[in-house]
A and B are shown apart, each in its own frame.
Chain A
Amino acid sequence: MPGSIETSITLNGDPYPLDADTPLTSLLERLNMRRGRVAVEINREIVPKADYDATIVRVGDHVEIINFVGGG
């Protein structure tokens, strides 16, 4: 909505509450995810592991976090 203040990001396709810009590492901690088990894309750009500490997730961002599951 025009003029409204965004208070979320889109995380794996769904809205996820985030009322302020947050370090990626904090978001991963909050989600209980270990960096060695996941990969992250922000607005379709992959975030290299080495950049995690310096990366800020901004309100309104589209974030994808993937991991490995059973498959053939």
Chain B
Amino acid sequence: MQDTSFELGGKKYKSRLIVGTGKYRDFAETRAAVEESGAEIVTVAVRRVNITDRGKENLLDYLDPKRYQILPNTAGCFTAEEAIRTCRLAREVGVGELVKLEVIGDQQTLFPDVAATLEAARVLVKEGFKVMPYVTDDPVTCLRLQEIGCVAVMPLAAPIGSGLGIRNPFNLAIIIEQAKVPVIVDAGVGTASDAAEAMELGCDGVLMNTAIAGAKDPLAMARAMKLAIEAGRLAYRAGRIERKLYATASSPLTGLIG
């Protein structure tokens, strides 16, 4: 069954899995996990360079920007102003206009500050950024972000790093139904079935970091996630059966021995 291609910010991708690069043992493990996952888009954080350790390797030496679409994030930003500044700096590194916008509203839950996210998105879209906002699983906010001109909306499944899976599939279903831009579940996925569930609901992709990096065997989990995304997508396109309360026999009721 030939799938439609996944288009994001004017570029086509085969993989619908976007992976983060945080929490790995070292850059070599990061690269190996990214390769196993089959992801073509990888998120990175924007931070001050280490002045004291000048021999330190750079992440981009392990993830070639010619091969991977680098997606800088604004993780750790608590105001629209900080997020905008971070995006402007990230763009100047020279890997393109695609940015993952996240403006955090609360340290403990890492839930987004929706008002600040909308404010930052407006400015960034005007400045030519291709904005992918991390946002609460709220259909109205996702609509607003789409109207502003974001190239995707990225509702959370559950709090960042929680591994709780999809806590509100019904809201996600509404967001997917309303969206004219790709819907990417970002944050909260714990294991392969969570990723498959997101895809079965009709999401266009899933973004994850901790579920892979925090697994006992990150490389095996990266592969599991790749397969889950593909399986979930295929099941969505295949069209699942209706849920029924009672049994329907799979074997013929005629020709029984007796």
A residues with CB within 8 A of B? 11-14, 16, 31-34, 36-41, 46-49, 64-72
Contact = CB atoms under 8 A, between A and B. Distances in A.
Contacts, number: 106
B96 to A, nearest CB: 12
B28 interface: no
5 closest cross-chain pairs (CB), A and B: A71-B45, A72-B20, A72-B209, A39-B92, A68-B44
B75 to A, nearest CB: 5
Nearest to A36: B94
A71 B44 contact: yes
B51 interface: yes
Contacts of A13: 48
B82 to A, nearest CB: 12
A12 B22 contact: no
Interface string B187-215: 10000000000000000000111100000
A40 B44 CA distance: 17
Contact of B54 (A32, A41, A66): A32
B34 to A, nearest CB: 11
Nearest to B93: A39
Given A32-B55, A39-B89, A46-B92, A68 B60 contact: yes
Interface of B: 20-24, 27, 30, 43-49, 51, 54-55, 58-60, 70, 72-73, 75, 88-94, 160, 187, 207-210
Given A71-B44, A71-B75, A39 B24 contact: no
A31 B51 contact: yes
A41 B89 contact: yes
B94 A31 contact: no
A46 B51 contact: no
Contact of B93 (A41, A68, A70): A68
Contacts of B207: 72
